[in-house]
């Protein structure tokens, strides 16, 4: 546990008692604070009571008279589309509002660091897509080379649940816009921006607010190194804001679709090859086509960002390449389940929207595509560029027939259930093809979440391998 510093004797309120909220409450108590906990969910309050926390309703007008700070869980809005009532009460009372990420950064350093040869470092990763894979890949590379590394934040453990790092330790954090927009302290050593596509726009008041939430990771703390994906206008703008000149190698520009030019520090992927350039000269390269855990252009972008972050720590290109080859991928994200008779089986249940499903379709050739579920707004027309890769679609979900009608130009079979879809796709598949689950839809019509959907796919595939 990371004990929160500077709170001894203070009364601190915690709103939201999920994973991050309870973690913050424990870390605050360990730091000597008096913790008042609240959640609208009675079951969550009962858990807090069972751990000895004082539970107090914070909705009253005088609730914050004796409270020094309010710690808010990520899912609770504090500005758009409208502030949570309790957050609004705290702001009216002049009480600072923070989250567990802010507590982590203000409490990460300790007196023991004076005895370390190498102070611990934090690599923080944000962006719209790929941040989980990028974070996990960085942690995997560091683990493979024997570094003391912990993965936390939006993936792995809660940030305050990790162990205090040892000499030369590295903490890799995946941070969402919900986390970066509110944290009062953001001081990573290395900050990574993967990309930006529209998401959570109601929460941030539009695309500009969404980008501003991501940008805080770079603007508030001033990382020693910034790895910036420049394939979108926002990333290009951010890199330009951070760099003092063309050759400023504190900013590493990353691209997955074009060769980057100039005297700075550049990492890009073209036609499956990763290249690193510094001061106009090539410093490293990797053939990404041979790495099964990183298929497709979107994963090549993740690989470039992870490679750049690892290079800031002094790892050699060949060392990083070897570690890439042993990366199995994250569950439900282009996860290779197995192979049989020349047919590959890939679980990308995390592809819950059109954008992520299209990336999956473009990552493979000759696909037997299992798709469908609870469709999102906007329709499926944006998937069309990937249809040339699809031999046939097998549609699941309660509205499978309606979903299939939107797949114009594709042969589509209405299967409804995962069991039927897997059985039919496996029966039809020939050597060299890939049976791919990339639903392009939410899972809630048939499953509790996308993980359960992916697990069902894996179960039916493995029962037939």
Binding site: which residues? Answer: 127-133
Q: Which two tokens stand for residue 294?
A: 């990183």
Q: Which two tokens stand for residue 182?
A: 């509110």
How many Å apart are CA 237 and CA 243, to the nearest integer?
10
How many Å apart are CA 157 and CA 155, to the nearest integer?
6
Q: Are the C-beta atoms of residues 53 and 11 closer than 8 Å to each other?
A: no
User: What is the per-residue DSSP string for 223-257?
Assistant: -SEEEEE-SSHHHHHHHHHH-SSTT-TTEEEEESS
Q: Tell me the backbone φ, ψ of residue 358, rounded to 5 degrees.
A: -60, -40
Q: Using DSSP, how many helices (H) and how many strands (E) does the chain show?
A: 15, 20
Neighbouring C-alpha atoms within 13 Å toward the C-beta of 311: 29
Binding residues for ATP are: 127-133
How many Å apart are CA 297 and CA 314, to the nearest integer?
26
CB atoms within 10 A of CB 373: 25
């Amino acid at each position: 546990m990371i004990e929160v510093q500077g709170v001894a004797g203070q009364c601190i309120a915690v709103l939201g008692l999920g994973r991050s909220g309870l973690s913050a409450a424990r870390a605050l108590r360990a730091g000597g604070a008096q913790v008042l906990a609240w959640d609208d969910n009675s079951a969550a309050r009962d858990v807090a009571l069972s751990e000895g926390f004082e539970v107090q309703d914070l909705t009253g007008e005088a609730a914050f008279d004796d409270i020094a700070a309010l710690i808010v869980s990520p899912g609770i809005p504090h500005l758009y589309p409208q502030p949570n009532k309790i957050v609004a009460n705290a702001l009216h009372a002049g009480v600072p509002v923070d989250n567990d990420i802010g507590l982590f950064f203000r409490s990460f350093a300790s007196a023991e660091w004076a005895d370390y040869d190498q102070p611990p470092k934090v690599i923080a990763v944000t962006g719209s897509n790929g941040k989980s894979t990028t974070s996990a890949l960085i942690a995997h590379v560091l683990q493979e080379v024997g570094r003391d590394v912990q993965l936390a934040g939006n993936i792995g453990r809660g940030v305050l649940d990790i162990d205090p790092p040892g000499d030369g330790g590295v903490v890799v954090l995946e941070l969402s816009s919900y986390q970066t927009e509110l944290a009062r302290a953001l001081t990573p050593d290395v900050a990574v921006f993967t990309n930006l596509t529209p998401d959570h726009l109601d929460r941030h008041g539009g695309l500009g607010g969404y980008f501003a939430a991501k940008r805080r990771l770079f603007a508030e703390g001033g990382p020693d190194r910034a790895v910036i994906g420049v394939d979108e206008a926002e990333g290009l703008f951010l890199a330009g804001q951070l760099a003092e000149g063309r050759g400023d190698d504190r900013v590493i520009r990353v691209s997955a679709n074009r060769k980057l030019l100039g005297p700075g520090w550049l990492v890009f992927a073209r036609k499956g090859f990763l290249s690193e350039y510094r001061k106009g000269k090539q410093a490293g390269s990797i053939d990404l086509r041979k790495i099964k855990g990183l298929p497709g252009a979107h994963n090549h972008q993740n690989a470039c960002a992870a490679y750049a972050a690892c290079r800031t720590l002094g790892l050699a290109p060949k060392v990083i390449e070897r570690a890439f080859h042993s990366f199995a991928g994250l569950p439900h994200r282009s996860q290779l389940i197995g192979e049989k008779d020349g047919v590959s089986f890939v679980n990308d249940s995390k592809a819950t929207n059109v954008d992520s499903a299209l990336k999956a379709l473009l990552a493979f050739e000759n696909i037997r595509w299992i798709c469908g579920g609870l469709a999102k707004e906007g329709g499926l027309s944006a998937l069309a560029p990937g249809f040339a890769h699809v031999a046939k679609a097998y549609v699941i979900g309660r509205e499978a027939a309606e979903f299939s009608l939107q797949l114009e130009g594709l042969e589509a079979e209405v299967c409804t259930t995962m069991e039927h879809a897997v059985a039919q796709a496996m029966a039809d598949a020939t050597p060299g093809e890939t049976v791919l689950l990339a639903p392009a839809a939410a899972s809630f019509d048939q499953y509790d979440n996308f993980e359960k959907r992916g697990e069902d796919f894996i179960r039916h595939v493995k029962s037939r391998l």
